[in-house]
């Protein structure tokens, strides 16, 4: 079996995440301790005990999810040192954990990047009035047309039949009405602080590009699929540029998953809280095997999964 590793994005957070695996695994516990030292606040305490309202703020949520994902990965590597991925990817925020896994930057540098990314996105949210909505069961061309006519953006192309739109509140509302008039039956407004992956994040993207420029990057040791291109990227300069563009650009997750499959993966392992990505993977490629690593139990259960 050939594995690809994927990493959770914002929205997967939950109070208690990482607590079980950190309590049972020294490698995972060490990551949380390192995160506390790097950021100077109790990352593990927030992940394990909340409060929930603080955990949902991007400036706290993003470094928390990044830490949990990396802790799960380190626990996995300690338990299964011979299991190497053929490629990696992550959804939005998760892309930074994927790049860390690929050796592009250290955990410490990645954590500092993620923390600043969250701060900048929170700032952009406070300066704009944005909204997002999930459009289900609609043709991508139809959604693109409605977005263009309403002056909003397609933020996420997650899987066939699931597209997220993003932009100014009034314009997103207009796009929703336009889509309904075109026969789209299921549109779900999302509970978010602002318009992520839209032009309203352009200021945050520009500032994040400056932060990225001051961070040491190395060539990926594992092939990495990036969100804004929906495919593999190997150039350090391109990886850096794409990370900045991703803040205000579309997340082409379906393309990333298809790239992982083209790289030879017949099983995908998701690291981090929740199981959103494995659910999307199944809708993109129903025949692929999936597994989640976020507790001590499923870390143990991987033994039987990997031999089947």
Catalytically annotated residue among 8, 92, 248, 259: 92
Rounded to whole angstroms, the Cα distance separating 108 from 258 reads: 30
Q: CA-CA distance, 204 to 80, in Å (whole number)?
A: 38
Contact assessment for residue 35 and residue 43, using Cβ atoms and an 8 Å cutoff = yes
Active-site residue, from 150, 166, 197, 259: 197
Place of tokens 């794409």: 242
> CB neighbours (10 Å) of residue 166?
29
Give the DSSP letter of residue 56: T
Strand (E) or helix (H) holding 187? strand 186-189
What would the DSSP string read from start to end of 204-263?
A: HHHHHHHHHHTS-----SS-EEETTTTEEE--HHHHHHHHHHHHHS-B-HHHHHHHHHHT
Degrees, nearest 5: CA angle 273-276-282: 135
What 3-state DSSP class applies to 71? helix
| Residue 166 a catalytic site member | no
* Cβ neighbours of 303 (radius 10 Å): 10
Establish whether 92 is a catalytic residue.
yes
Interstrand relation of 162-168 and 130-136 (parallel, antiparallel or unpaired): antiparallel
The catalytic site residues sit at 92, 197
């Amino acid at each position: 079996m050939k594995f690809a590793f994927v990493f959770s994005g914002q929205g997967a957070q939950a109070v208690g995440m990482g607590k079980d695996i950190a309590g049972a695994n020294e490698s995972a516990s060490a990551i949380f301790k390192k995160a506390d030292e790097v950021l100077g606040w109790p990352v593990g305490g927030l992940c394990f005990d909340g409060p929930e309202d603080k955990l949902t703020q991007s400036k706290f949520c993003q470094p928390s999810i990044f830490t949990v994902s990396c802790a799960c990965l380190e626990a996995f590597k300690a338990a299964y040192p011979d299991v190497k991925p053929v490629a990696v990817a992550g959804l939005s925020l998760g892309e930074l954990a994927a790049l860390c896994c690929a050796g592009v930057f250290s955990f410490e540098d990645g954590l500092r990047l993620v923390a600043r990314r969250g701060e900048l996105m929170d700032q952009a949210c406070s300066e704009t009035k944005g909204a997002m909505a999930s459009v289900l069961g609609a043709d991508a061309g139809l959604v693109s047309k409605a977005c263009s006519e309403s002056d909003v953006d397609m933020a996420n192309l997650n899987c066939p039949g699931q597209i997220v739109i993003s932009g100014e509140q009034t314009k997103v509302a207009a796009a929703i009405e336009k889509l309904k008039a075109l026969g789209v039956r299921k549109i779900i407004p999302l509970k978010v602080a602002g318009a992520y992956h839209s032009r309203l994040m352009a200021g945050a993207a520009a500032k994040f590009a400056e932060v990225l420029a001051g961070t040491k990057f190395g060539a990926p040791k594992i092939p990495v699929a990036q969100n804004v291109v929906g495919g593999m990227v190997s150039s350090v300069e391109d990886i850096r540029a794409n990370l900045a563009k991703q803040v205000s650009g579309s997340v082409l997750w379906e393309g990333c998953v298809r790239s992982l499959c083209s790289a030879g993966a017949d099983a995908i392992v998701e690291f981090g809280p929740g199981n959103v990505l494995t659910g999307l993977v199944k809708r993109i490629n129903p025949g692929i095997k999936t597994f989640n690593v976020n507790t001590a139990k499923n870390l143990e259960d991987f033994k039987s999964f990997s031999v089947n």
